[in-house]
Amino acid sequence: MNTLILSDNQAITRMGMKTIAITRFDKVLEADDIHVLTKKLLTEERAVAVIDYTLFDCTAEQLLVVKERFPASLFILFSDALSEEFIRRMVFSNPKFSILMKDSSLDEIESCLEKAKNGIPFICAKASALLEKETKTQEDDSPLTATEKEILKAMAMGKTTKEIASERFLSVYTVMTHRKNIFRKLQVNNAHEAVRYALRAGIVDAMEYYI
């Protein structure tokens, strides 16, 4: 990804981000609103879009729609403050977003941009801490057994039933039974929904999932 699109209405932030990004990206463009951002993404299929959601005139639903429309692009939500509920919704949505706070360290900002250039999502330490705080109680109240949690974690890491069975010295049939029990207990219909639960409940660390 060689193009960065800045969608931030604070001049000082735009200048600072440009200074950091100029050495990593061939082009740095600007977008004043969601409509301009969409037009630029039409010509830049693999771009990194940095968006200050708190100042940008758009809704969470619009962001999700735009991200779905341009799956090859990576979106960084870069703001002074984001609610725990909003962060959870963006992080646990099907198209993943990167989360970066404006009080993040320079090292975090540079790391986020470097990962974004390579198409890798990033969650800053502050946002990760908010997610961990929110999910601690959910993890304690989980209906799953220790074994089921381990299998669900393996599923979230993208491992197949055969791989999980081999690693745990179980039969494929036994792992399939565990999967069915996990779905039944969580009242979900597929692996994607189960993985979303694993992230919300803290069974899978959000930072680990994003690596």
Q: Which of 111, 134, 157 is the last residue of a domain?
A: 134
Asked whether the beta carbons of 195 and 155 are under 8 A apart, the reply is yes
At 55, phi and psi to the nearest 5? -110, -15
Task: Please tell me whether residues 111 and 146 are part of one structural domain.
Answer: no
pLDDT exceeds 70 at position 90: yes
For the chain, the average pLDDT equals: 83
What are 62's two structure tokens?
């619009």
Asked whether the beta carbons of 74 and 119 are under 8 A apart, the reply is yes
pLDDT exceeds 90 at position 139: no
Q: Residue 211 and residue 32: Cα distance in Å, rounded?
A: 31
Mean pLDDT of 22-49: 89
**SS3 of residue 105 by DSSP:** coil
Domain residues for the domain of 193 are: 142-210
Task: Please tell me whether residues 57 and 100 are part of one structural domain.
Answer: yes
Task: Please tell me whether residues 126 and 171 are part of one structural domain.
Answer: no
Q: What is the pLDDT of residues 6-32, one digit of tens each?
A: 888 788 888 888 898 888 898 999 988
Number of independent structural domains in the chain: 2
- Taking CA atoms, 66 is separated from 87, 91, 103, 200, 205, in Å, by 17, 15, 26, 23, 26
The CATH number of whichever domain residue 181 belongs to comes to 1.10.10.10
DSSP 33-48: SHHHHHHHHHH-SSEE
pLDDT exceeds 80 at position 93: no
pLDDT-derived band at 211 (thresholds 50, 70, 90) equals very low
Q: Which residue has the tokens 């931030």?
A: 8
**% of the chain exceeding 90 in pLDDT:** 21
pLDDT-derived band at 75 (thresholds 50, 70, 90) equals very high
Asked whether the beta carbons of 75 and 97 are under 8 A apart, the reply is yes
